[in-house]
Amino acid sequence: MSVVDNLAKIDQKIEQACKNSGRSKNEITLIAVTKYVTTERAQEALEAGIKHLGENRKEGLLEKYEEIGDQATWHFIGSLQSRKVKDVIGQVSMIHSLDRKSLAKEINKRANCPVPCFIQVNISEEESKHGLAASEVESFIEVLSHYQNVKVVGLMTMAPHTDDEEKLRGVFRQLRALRDRIRDKGYRHAPCEYLSMGMSNDFALAIEEGATHIRLGSSLVGE
Ligand SMILES: *Cc1c(COP(=O)(O)O)cnc(C)c1O
């Protein structure tokens, strides 16, 4: 399927989810996750009108950035090794996977202006997933006030792989409640307005539960 065809279906689902929850489509940033696909396919996504691309590895990001450059807004969505920060910091607009102090320290050192970051939270506490436990997030955010080039714009999670709708909604609601609590504290370094949640399998539910950034790979740019 072409990206245009995939996008048409996804757009309908986004609209329906917005309608169901009384939200506006303008609140949702659609990120095409291009980690599985070629640079040509990523370019096809841009031609279809998608502006945000997500990669989870330094190599994939740099390979595509070489061709596409700043025609796209780049999101780093995977676990990021501190030693690779210097290689991607000039290319990415947002980092969705901030999960430890050593990474914040490196971002702070390498960036020359505040980098919008999401803190990755392992709401479902699956061993296989990265991210802080929900109970660790608030103290972590307080530590981050020392790093002036790290700006916490929101929280990110990956929901468990399941079709259990109530379970998925439960995860999204917990992330949202945590976001609300942090946002209401009014930290200057952590406005924490956004929620990066929702992938191919669960994005409609994520939108109904408040997602502002959805990250779609297989359903959008998959063949
Ligand atoms: C791969 C990936 C996605 C996209 O997954 P799909 O199920 O293909 O939509 C989203 N977020 C992260 C962090 C990923 O690694």
One-character DSSP codes across the chain = --HHHHHHHHHHHHHHHHHHHT--GGG-EEEEE-TTS-HHHHHHHHHTT--EEEESSHHHHHHHHHHHGGGSEEEE-S---GGGHHHHTTTEEEEEEE--HHHHHHHHHH-SSPEEEEEEB-TT--TTS-SB-GGGHHHHHHHHTT-TTEEEEEEE----S---HHHHHHHHHHHHHHHHHHHTTT-SS----EEE---TTTHHHHHHTT-SEEEESHHHH--
Q: Alpha-carbon distance 194 to 23, whole Å?
A: 14
User: Does 207 map to a domain?
Assistant: yes
Of ligand 1's atoms, which has the minimum distance to the CA of residue 35?
A: 1
pLDDT for residue 98? 98
For ligand 1, is residue 207 a contact (CB within 6 Å)? no
Domain span at residue 100? 3-216
For ligand 1, is residue 215 a contact (CB within 6 Å)? yes
Contact 182, 167 (CB under 8 A): no
Flag residues of the chain having pLDDT under 70: none
User: Does 92 map to a domain?
Assistant: yes
pLDDT for residue 60? 97
Domains in the chain: how many in total? 1
User: Does 187 map to a domain?
Assistant: yes
Ligand 1 pocket: which of 9, 56, 122 to mutate (most atoms within 8 A of CB): 56
User: Does 222 map to a domain?
Assistant: no
For ligand 1, is residue 158 a contact (CB within 6 Å)? yes
For ligand 1, is residue 57 a contact (CB within 6 Å)? no
User: Does 169 map to a domain?
Assistant: yes
pLDDT tens track for 80-133: 999 999 999 999 999 999 999 999 999 999 999 999 999 999 998 877 778 999
pLDDT for residue 127? 77
Contact 77, 215 (CB under 8 A): yes
Which protein residue's CA is at the shortest distance from atom 12 of ligand 1?
Answer: 77
Compute, in angstroms, the gap from residue 66 CA to the centroid of ligand 1.
22
CATH code for position 212 = 3.20.20.10
User: Does 223 map to a domain?
Assistant: no
Of ligand 1's atoms, which has the minimum distance to the CA of residue 201?
A: 7
User: Does 12 map to a domain?
Assistant: yes
pTM of the predicted protein model? 0.97
User: Does 19 map to a domain?
Assistant: yes
Compute, in angstroms, the gap from residue 185 CA to the centroid of ligand 1.
30
pLDDT for residue 128? 73
